[in-house]
Amino acid sequence: MVTPTDLSCTEALSQYVSAKKNGKKPTDGHQEIGRFIAWLGRERAVTSLAPAEIADYAQYVGLGGADAGIRLSPVKEFLAFLKTQGWIEASLATHLRIPRNRKSASGNSKTVMIDDAPSTQLSQQGYERLVAQLDDLKIDRVTVVEDIKYAMEDKDFRENSPLDAAKERQGLIESKIRELEDTLSRVEIITQKGRKAQQAKVSMGCTVTLKTDAGKKILYTLVDVREADVSAGKISTQSPVGQALLDRRVGEDISINVPKGTVSYRIEKIGG
């Protein structure tokens, strides 16, 4: 019996499709889910999926234009299914947000020059994780070239699904490699060296101690979305809590609207 620990993305998709059929619900969109799984790696365990990867995929799809929301919709439903089944703990579907493109005065999208891109602040651990991802993708790049060569042995290209799938995966890999290389070229590594034990304001990379109305204390570390891991107490500065905390001081109260209502915290300590 397959347990959630070793359940692969491909196996999860099969069970998702079966559940849809048993419930007599349409399974439209499973091709989009297949593309999503190809991006992550078909044999990846569902328990290993990280919020940063989900956000990266949304960003990639967002480059495709106006149909991005339609493409991401079945993927969101699939991720919600994983959560409902108890195969993942975090709600990964919330990280499938389409990035907002800058608009010019005429309403057309404006290309953002590479030189204008801001630096990315990461911890040493987060930097090393991205470097490892890049190394893995470069290995995948070699593998997919071999897959294309193998698929091209079938001369009937009109109905060569393996060739189409391999070429699509190649495009995803190359896009991800370019994105990671650009990110790594602009990384600013955050260190604790030189930081004061008690900071004046909440900022990227610092640890914040919060107190709930019930008196419970919670520790969060604010990180880039690529490092976010709620189970480890690392929250993105783009998350509702992260945005509410930035630039706040000790003693201040914050309130965040969540699906179940409003939660309130008091900032007890910054840093340390």
Q: In the structure, what pLDDT confidence band is assigned to residue 105 with cuts at 50, 70 and 90?
A: very low
Average pLDDT, the chain: 78
Domain ranges of the chain: 9-95, 114-190, 207-270
Which pLDDT does position 28 carry in this prediction? Answer: 61
Question: Of 28-37, 150-159, 160-169, where does mean pLDDT reach its minimum?
Answer: 150-159
More confident call, 111 vs 29: 29
Report the percent of the chain where pLDDT is more than 90: 11
Which pLDDT does position 210 carry in this prediction? Answer: 92
pLDDT tens-digit profile of 121-161? 888 888 888 888 888 888 888 888 888 888 777 665 555 56
Fold classified for 9-95: DNA polymerase; domain 1 (1.10.150)
Question: Of 22-31, 202-211, 240-249, where does mean pLDDT reach its minimum?
Answer: 22-31
Query: What sign does the dihedral 192-193-197-199 (CA atoms) show?
Result: negative
CATH class of 114-190: mainly alpha
Which pLDDT does position 109 carry in this prediction? Answer: 37
Task: Judge whether 9-95 and 114-190 match in fold.
Answer: no
Which pLDDT does position 182 carry in this prediction? Answer: 86
Question: Is 111 a residue whose pLDDT tops 50?
Answer: no
Question: Is 196 a residue whose pLDDT tops 80?
Answer: no
Q: In the structure, what pLDDT confidence band is assigned to residue 66 with cuts at 50, 70 and 90?
A: low
Find out if CATH 3.10.50.30 is the number for domain 207-270: yes
The pTM assigned to this predicted structure is: 0.53
